[in-house]
A and B are shown apart, each in its own frame.
Chain A
């Protein structure tokens, strides 16, 4: 692998967002993934989401583990600090980074190998702690970099490119995230930008642990007949519960959907999620129902997508720890070092 910088060509007519950034300002270096890789579509959706949200790129910290998906933070938001950590351990590093500076937006990018196998424990604990982040798993059901082994999210009975049948049960990270207390849970498909971009936008705006599982077919090793993560399979079995529009706090709210079909959810930061319900009885504010719905559709071989659960009033780890408003990394010696007088009192108590 080599490092390829994108040519910085000047495009005077590129549209700008409210902060004056063009879409280009959210791009990174040239992707080295295979042509047609679903992960590149997700990177592109992340770029579009950040652009539409008018986020200052440098206010985002992007972290990942190891694997194809974890390489992608290099391919978007080049003006953001990024951290390609170690395999399966992105959640703990992101947790620490978040503790150090609560003011940045934390985007964790991982894969099914990184999060459902070696990193399952860290995924679980970062979610249950309510770390304020958007955690995206680019889920292709396969180990790509090591050439085609099954991952833990591969469905039981699905076939590898070599024809081997997977005999282990698949882990559904969406079900786990719901069970572990994530306060924003969605699933989408890398080939469905209309659904994915608003889901990412709302996830970035969400306060608390937001999780999106994005099915992202691997064009090299998991896009054949018999795979349940192929483009064709996902397109045919996609059961979307809703279509989401995400309206940032400062934008005027336009609702195009007919009343009765649309649920309006106002998040902590004032942004509004406009949910166009497709499955009539689906209620995204009911964690228990979400789990039940997921299970019943899974039994039919369907992949439920959309915003499955949101708690718009969720808190985060900093709330639980009751930390000061100033980011901890900005506290100076005066705020941190108690000084010689306090020490004299401590000494006196130790005699």
Chain B
């Protein structure tokens, strides 16, 4: 075996870092690296050390660059930190960019089969070469084997370099290939090829994984899978969807969970899933099922919301329950289909022509995707309207460490105000759009309920409280006012925001939501370390509860941190709460990568520092 010399030696040194560093894998997509990289992250979790892993991938099936970033964080910071301590550079196409991204004093791991000129390296990093291609070409005959096992060999080498016990990875491999002993043996061999090479030619580096007990009972799961499971627990029976990144895996997960959890012993399904011809048909099926008393949902992304808008308006005006999971991606138009953003807030909140508004739930992690996924169905039945659950690609398609799913077995499905056969028979006055209880929510009936009572004609046109067509101005206005009352009622049902007060009294606040949360919390710690104190409020839904407006009123200046260009949450706050825009300072990150703690701390820190300077002058 010919082994190229490592052109870089340990030129950079520094303190030993335990359980607090970032490893980034640069791969070519379609090369089978995803599974090996996933096992790397999982092996660290199995050591009791929290990880935050993120896929950064192209809109492509094979051949383009893809990255997998793993933050090892005993402190439990699950957002992106920014910067890379160890780059696993497996993709020549992105080599220069990848090498440049390494923090000074960091490490570069690469396949040293072919020598590279010294100009391709840096003086301030340590280079770790393993001749992966040479090793695999020598051991394996088939091109496919050579390619796939290369990933397992580097996994072994990394374990040896970082002090991860290979037995942990063996356990994961055994679970993954359960029952296929040949495959298990072959993977073990490749793993140990990597381990042995490091033992013979290199030595462990100063970035080390040590066993800890910081994971607890948390689970590691994608937000899309969690939301799909929430839909199962929320009693959804009809799912109509159209494939679109990054929401596809939500429908696929729902299918898998239903097969496992909702199939009768004779094989009959207690659910119906239709892959529709487009997003318009998807939401049409959902509206039809909701009208007929089944809990139904679709999952999509921004382009799908645009297409569904007409039906969303119908759901609002005809008052038909529907649930839409919007896994947001980079817009506008086709935008950045495989990158993350929180840029559908305004488009969803006000989807539809005419005066429309829709409740939204804003989960911050997969645990809340499950919780809100189930809650959305109660809310849509209770409020008889579309409920949006706003995920994004970062939460939806990455596995996050999150609190375990929990369910109270005494909980009942809230089907909302549905007039029954017996109530109709007993002579109840049924007016489909009549506000009986003063909360703006009328009663409905399911088709077929009674031979001669309770039938009504549903339409997207204006009508009177008894569902009869009317173009009378006063009747129209009454109905539109009732819909506003219903929206006020929604405020009481939306999950309350979560407040975290600073250790010292402050006039500065910050509002944030969704996938920004872990980076925000880390940034707050960081700012606090600099003596900068902010009260923080995590918004969990729309319309905003009074607590949100109270928080804004109680502070002189409120930063609003979000992942879009136009400060959409801030716009909603200004618009709905009639807040002075000057009071709300936007902090915006929208390049398609998940927001980092460093970014937030820097942006807010700079503005706070400026204020201090001005005060000093």
Contact = CB atoms under 8 A, between A and B. Distances in A.
Contact of A81 (B268, B294, B452, B455): B455
A94 B447 CA distance: 12
A74 interface: yes
A93 B272 contact: no
Interface string A317-348: 11001111100110111011111101100110
A263 to B, nearest CB: 34
Contacts of B456: 81-82
B335 interface: no
Contact of A321 (B261, B273, B445): B273
Contacts of A347: 217, 219, 404-405
Given A58-B451, A84-B459, A328-B272, A337 B413 contact: yes
Given A61-B447, A100-B296, A336 B277 contact: no
A1 B448 contact: no
A74 B310 CA distance: 22
A170 interface: no
B506 interface: no
| Residue from A61, A78, A81, A321 having most chain B Cβ neighbours under 10 A | A81
Interface stretch (B110-118, B193-201, B234-242, B538-546): B234-242
B409 interface: yes
Interface in A59-90: 59, 61, 63, 73-74, 78-86, 89
Interface in A1-39: 1-3
Interface stretch (B123-131, B278-286, B482-490, B570-578): B278-286
B87 interface: no
Interface stretch (A121-129, A158-166, A221-229, A276-284): A121-129
| Residue from A57, A80, A329 having most chain B Cβ neighbours under 10 A | A329
Contacts of B67: none
A343 B277 contact: no
Interface string B446-472: 111111100111111100000011110
Interface in B410-428: 411-413
Contacts of A332: 413
A117 interface: no
A84 B597 CA distance: 51
A249 to B, nearest CB: 21
A176 interface: no
A325 B271 CA distance: 11
Contacts of A329: 237, 289, 292-294, 446
Nearest to A125: B277
A332 B446 CA distance: 15
Nearest to B282: A92
A269 interface: no
A171 interface: no
A317 B292 CA distance: 17
B441 to A, nearest CB: 19
B609 to A, nearest CB: 42
B287 A58 contact: no
A346 B233 CA distance: 13
A99 interface: yes
A343 B406 contact: yes
Given A93-B284, A98-B288, A122-B280, 20 more contacts: A58-B449, A58-B455, A81-B445, A84-B458, A85-B288, A89-B310, A93-B285, A97-B289, A99-B294, A100-B290, A100-B294, A104-B292, A121-B278, A121-B281, A122-B277, A125-B276, A125-B277, A336-B232, A338-B232, A339-B407
Interface of B: 45, 215, 217-221, 229, 232-233, 235, 237-238, 240, 261-262, 264, 267-274, 276-278, 280-294, 296, 310-311, 314, 404-409, 411-413, 445-452, 455-461, 468-471
Instruction: List the 10 shortest-distance A-B pairs measured between CB atoms, nearest first.
Output: A96-B288, A92-B284, A100-B294, A81-B447, A96-B285, A100-B292, A93-B288, A329-B293, A96-B289, A350-B219
